[in-house]
C-alpha cells in the first residue's frame, strides 16, 4: 500500500514527467515474502575440551549478532538520532527525505543525495544484492521497506539493523554489527559501551572508511560530536551529559578477540577437519560453536615435555589420543607458528618409522597363530635373504652380533635380521593389511623392507598414535578426531565422529602384543620411557640417525613422539636413538598425563589360541642355532614394477646395507590406506619443504 507521503512524492516526480516510470518500478518490485534474505551469518568459535576458547574461525568479516537487551540504550538512541530522526513516528519511508533526495537526483541526472531510513538500509542489506546507487534502486528499496514495516516491530527492525550494518574494516576484516565493532574498536562487549563510545559507533555506518577512528581519528572525533549534538537536540541526553561526553577522548583500544588463536597448529587442523565435513562457508560464517577434544592441561604437559629436551636443529612432535574414543587430547611440536611456518609436524609430517613399525608385523604374525615365546629365529647379522626372483636382500642389525632368539626377545631388542625374516614369513601383504586395520592410513607398498621400517612415504605421529591406540583399547580402532561436538545457531548438535568404532583385532591378540611391548620399556630399548606404571611401546630409529621415535601407550592414552629435522633427512648424530631422543619426551609427558591412574591392561575375554603347527619358512628351533644367516626362499612373490617382473634392488631395504632411496614426493594419504597399487614405485624427486617425506630409511633400533 502506498503511503500518503509516497503518493505526494510520486506527484512531485510526475511534474518532471517521470510519474508513470516510478509507478512501473514500484509495481514491479516483488513481494518481500518471495525473497530470501541474505544469510547474516556469524563467526564460528572453537573451544577446548574444558570450555576455554581457542579462537574464532578466520573470516573476512567479524560478525556476532546479539539480542536487543544486550545493546545499550545510548547506542540505539544515537543511531536513530544521526541516521533516522523520524524512525519511531513514520513507516519505512521518510517522505520528506525521499522528496529532497529524489528531486536532487532528477536535477543532477544521477544519484547525488541519500534519503534512506533505517528500515530502507536494512532491507538493502538483507534483500538487494549488489545495490546500485540510482533512483530505481531507491524506489524498490522504499517498497520493500514499506512491506517490512508492516510485518515487524520497530524494536526488531532497529536490532536487526544494528546487527547487520558495516562499521569499518581493519587489517582486511570488516566489523559487521555492533558486537564486532565494539570488540574491534574498544576491546569489550557491546553491552559495556558508554555514551561517548556508543556515539562513535553510531556515526560509522554512513561512511565507515572516512570515519574509521584508527585510520582518521580527527574525522572520527568530529563525527562522534555530531552524533552527540543530534542526541542532545532531539532530547535523548541532557546538556550536562552532552558536554561531559564532548570532553572525553575516543578511548580506543584495538581488540583482537576475533583474531587471537591459541594452539594454532591444532586450530588449523580442526578448521580443516570442519571444512571437509561441513563446507567452508558454514564453517567460517555459520555461527558454529565447536567443542574440540584438546585438553589444555595435557597440551601444556606436551609442550613442557618437548621443552625439557631441546634439540638444537632437530624438531620434536607429539600426538596423543584417548584410545577409548579416538579423541586427540594433545598435539604439539617444538616449531614456532608463523606466517612462514604453519606445517603441523604432529599431524602431517610423514617420516620413516624405523623399528616402531615392527609391532604391526608382530601383530600380523600373532594373527596367524604365532606364539612369540616359542617361535625362534636366527638374528645373526648380516643376513642374506633370497627372494623368489633370485634377488638377495641383505639386512643388518643396528648392533653387531645376534643369535637364535624368540620373536618376543627380537621385539624387545629390536633385531632387524629377525624381523626381516618374520615379515617374509607373515607375508608383506598381510603385514601391510594389519597396519591398515590398526590405523595406518598412508599408502604402503608391501615391500619387504616395510617390516623393518623402510617405508617409501613414511607415517605421521598422529597415525602412529592412533594405530597403537588400537592395542590399548583391546583391538578396537577409533578414527582419530579433534572435534567432540558442533552446536549450530538453532541449537542442533552434531557429533561428527560418533559411532566410528571398529574391531581391528581380537582383544586376545591386542593383549599378547601389549605383553611383548611392555618388555621394550622394562628391559629393552625403551627403558627411558618407564614412569613406573603399566605401559607398552616401541622405539624407532632410522639409518644415519635421521628419525627417532617412541610410540607407546597405557590403558588410557596412546602417544607418539618423533624427533628429526623438519625439512630434510639430516643425521642428528650417532647417539640419536628413539630410546635416547624420543623416549624421554614421552616419559615426561606421560608421567603427568596419566594422573593418578596406574591400572594394568585388562585380561582379554578371548585369549589367543596359538597354532601348534605354524612355522615360518625362516623360523628355526631353539636348538638349531648355526652361524651364517642365509635364509631359505620366502615363498613371497614381490610386486612387479616393470614388464620384466623384476623387483628393483633399491627397494628391498633402502638404507639397510644399500644406499638410501631419494626423498619421494608423498601422495595425499588415503583414508582406507589405498593409493597407487600398480605394483611399481612412482617417480621420485628430491622433495623439499615442510612435510617432505623421508625416503627409505630402515630401522636402527
Other C-beta atoms lying within 10 Å of the C-beta of residue 215 = 14
Cis peptide before 382 (omega within 30 of 0): yes
Domain boundaries 4-32+61-247, CATH class? mainly alpha
pTM to 2 decimal places: 0.80
Query: Which part of the chain has CATH 3.40.710.10?
Result: 298-598+615-651
pLDDT at 298: 98
Q: Cα–Cα distance between 632 and 238 in angstroms, integer? A: 101
Contact 331, 348 (CB under 8 A): no
H or E segment at 663? none
Q: Which residues pair with 636 in a beta bridge?
A: none
Burial of 58 (0-12, 13-18, 19+ CB in 10 A): middle
Spatial CA neighbour of 649 closest among 386, 393, 446: 393
Q: Which residues contact 613 (CB under 8 A, 6 or more apart)?
A: none
Q: Which residues contact 644 (CB under 8 A, 6 or more apart)?
A: none
Q: Which residues contact 243 (CB under 8 A, 6 or more apart)?
A: none
Contact 92, 146 (CB under 8 A): yes
- Which one is the CATH code of 298-598+615-651: 3.20.20.80, 3.40.50.2300, 3.40.710.10, 3.30.565.10? 3.40.710.10
pLDDT at 391: 86
Burial of 647 (0-12, 13-18, 19+ CB in 10 A): buried
pLDDT at 242: 95
pLDDT at 144: 78
Contact 467, 355 (CB under 8 A): no
Q: Cα–Cα distance between 121 and 38 in angstroms, integer? A: 13
pLDDT at 664: 30
Q: Cα–Cα distance between 690 and 503 in angstroms, integer? A: 34
Q: Could you list the mean pLDDT of each consecutive 10-residue stretch along the chain, which spans 701 residues?
A: 45 52 65 68 93 93 94 96 90 66 57 68 77 66 79 92 93 93 96 97 94 95 96 96 94 93 95 88 90 97 96 94 96 91 92 95 95 92 82 81 87 93 93 97 92 92 98 96 93 78 96 97 93 96 91 98 92 90 97 94 94 73 44 33 34 32 33 29 28 42 66
Contact 661, 416 (CB under 8 A): no
Q: Cα–Cα distance between 381 and 653 in angstroms, integer? A: 14
Cell for 225? 560530536
Query: Which part of the chain has CATH 1.10.3810.10?
Result: 4-32+61-247
pLDDT at 101: 59
Contact 205, 118 (CB under 8 A): no
Q: Which residues pair with 322 in a beta bridge?
A: 327
Q: Cα–Cα distance between 543 and 46 in angstroms, integer? A: 41
Sign of CA dihedral 465, 568, 548, 699: positive
Contact 85, 115 (CB under 8 A): no
φ and ψ at residue 48, rounded to 5 degrees: -80, 175
pLDDT at 169: 92
pLDDT at 108: 56
Q: Cα–Cα distance between 572 and 314 in angstroms, integer? A: 7
Amino acid at each position: 500500500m502506498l503511503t500518503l507521503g509516497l503518493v505526494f512524492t510520486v506527484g512531485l516526480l510526475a511534474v518532471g514527467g517521470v510519474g508513470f516510470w516510478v509507478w512501473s518500478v514500484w509495481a514491479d518490485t516483488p513481494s518481500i515474502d518471495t525473497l530470501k534474505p541474505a544469510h547474516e551469518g556469524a563467526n564460528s568459535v572453537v573451544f577446548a575440551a574444558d570450555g576455554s576458547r581457542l579462537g574464532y574461525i578466520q573470516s573476512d568479516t567479524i560478525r556476532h549478532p546479539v539480542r536487543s537487551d544486550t545493546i545499550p540504550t545510548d547506542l540505539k538512541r544515537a543511531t536513530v538520532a544521526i541516521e533516522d530522526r523520524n524512525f519511531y513516528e513514520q513507516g519505512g519511508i521518510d517522505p520528506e527525505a525521499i522528496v529532497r533526495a529524489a528531486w536532487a537526483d532528477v536535477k543532477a541526472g544521477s544519484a547525488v543525495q541519500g534519503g534512506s531510513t533505517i528500515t530502507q538500509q536494512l532491507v538493502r542489506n538483507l534483500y538487494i544484492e549488489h545495490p546500485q546507487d540510482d533512483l530505481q534502486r531507491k524506489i524498490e528499496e522504499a517498497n520493500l521497506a514499506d512491506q517490512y514495516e508492516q510485518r515487524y516491530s520497530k524494536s526488531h527492525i532497529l536490532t536487526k539493523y544494528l546487527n547487520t550494518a558495516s562499521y569499518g574494516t581493519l587489517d582486511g576484516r570488516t566489523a559487521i554489527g555492533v558486537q564486532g565493532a565494539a570488540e574491534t574498536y574498544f576491546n569489550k562487549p557491546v553491552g559495556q559501551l558508554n555514551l561517548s563510545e556508543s556515539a562513535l559507533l553510531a556515526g560509522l555506518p554512513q561512511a565507515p572508511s572516512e570515519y574509521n577512528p584508527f585510520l582518521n581519528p580527527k574525522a572520527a572525533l568530529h563525527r562522534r560530536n555530531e552524533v552527540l549534538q543530534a542526541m542532545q537536540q532531539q532530547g535523548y541526553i541532557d546538556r550536562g551529559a552532552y558536554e561531559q561526553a564532548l570532553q572525553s577522548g575516543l578511548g580506543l583500544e584495538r581488540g583482537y578477540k576475533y583474531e587471537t588463536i591459541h594452539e594454532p597448529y591444532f586450530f588449523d587442523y580442526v578448521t580443516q577437519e570442519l571444512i571437509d565435513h561441513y563446507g567452508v562457508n558454514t564453517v567460517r560464517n555459520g555461527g558454529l560453536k565447536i567443542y574440540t577434544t584438546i585438553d589444555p592441561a595435557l597440551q601444556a604437559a606436551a609442550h613442557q615435555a618437548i621443552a625439557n629436551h631441546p634439540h638444537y636443529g632437530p624438531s620434536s612432535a607429539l600426538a596423543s589420543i584417548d584410545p577409548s574414543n579416538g579423541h586427540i587430547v594433545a598435539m604439539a611440536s617444538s616449531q614456532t607458528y608463523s606466517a612462514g611456518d604453519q606445517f603441523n609436524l604432529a599431524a602431517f609430517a610423514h617420516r620413516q618409522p624405523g623399528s616402531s613399525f615392527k609391532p604391526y608385523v608382530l601383530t600380523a604374525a600373532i594373527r596367524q597363530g604365532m606364539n612369540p615365546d616359542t617361535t625362534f629365529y636366527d638374528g645373526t647379522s648380516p643376513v642374506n635373504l633370497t627372494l623368489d626372483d633370485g634377488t638377495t636382500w641383505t639386512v643388518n642389525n643396528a648392533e653387531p652380533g645376534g643369535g637364535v632368539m624368540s620373536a618376543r626377545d627380537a621385539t624387545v631388542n629390536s633385531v632387524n635380521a629377525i624381523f626381516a625374516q618374520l615379515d617374509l614369513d607373515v607375508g608383506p601383504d598381510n603385514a601391510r593389511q594389519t597396519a591398515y586395520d590398526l590405523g595406518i592410513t598412508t599408502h604402503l607398498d608391501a615391500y619387504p623392507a616395510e617390516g623393518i621400517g623402510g617405508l617409501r612415504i613414511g607415517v605421521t605421529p598422529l597415525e602412529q598414535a592412533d594405530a597403537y591406540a588400537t592395542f590399548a583399547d583391546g583391538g578396537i580402532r577409533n578414527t582419530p578426531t579433534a572435534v567432540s561436538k558442533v552446536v549450530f545457531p538453532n541449537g542442533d548438535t552434531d557429533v561428527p565422529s560418533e559411532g566410528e568404532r571398529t574391531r581391528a583385532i581380537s582383544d586376545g591378540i591386542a593383549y599378547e602384543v601389549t605383553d611383548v611391548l611392555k618388555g621394550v620399556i622394562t628391559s629393552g630399548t625403551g627403558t627411558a620411557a618407564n614412569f613406573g606404571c603399566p605401559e607398552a611401546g616401541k622405539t624407532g630409529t632410522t639409518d644415519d640417525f635421521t628419525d627417532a621415535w617412541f610410540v607407546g601407550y597405557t590403558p588410557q592414552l596412546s602417544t607418539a613422539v618423533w624427533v628429526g629435522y623438519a625439512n630434510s633427512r639430516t643425521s642428528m648424530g650417532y647417539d640419536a636413538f628413539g630410546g635416547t631422543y624420543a623416549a624421554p619426551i614421552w616419559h615426561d609427558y606421560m608421567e603427568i598425563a596419566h594422573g593418578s591412574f596406574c591400572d594394568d591392561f585388562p585380561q582379554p575375554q578371548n585369549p589367543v589360541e596359538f597354532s601348534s603347527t605354524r612355522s615360518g619358512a625362516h623360523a628355526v628351533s631353539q636348538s638349531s642355532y648355526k652361524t651364517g644367516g642365509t635364509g631359505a626362499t620366502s615363498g613371497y612373490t614381490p610386486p612387479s614394477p616393470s614388464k620384466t617382473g623384476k623387483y628393483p634392488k633399491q627397494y628391498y631395504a633402502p638404507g639397510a646395507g644399500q644406499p638410501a632411496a631419494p626423498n619421494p614426493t608423498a601422495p595425499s594419504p588415503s583414508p582406507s590406506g589405498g593409493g597407487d597399487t600398480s605394483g611399481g614405485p612412482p617417480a621420485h624427486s628430491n622433495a623439499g619443504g615442510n612435510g617432505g617425506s623421508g625416503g627409505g630409511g630402515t630401522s636402527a633400533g
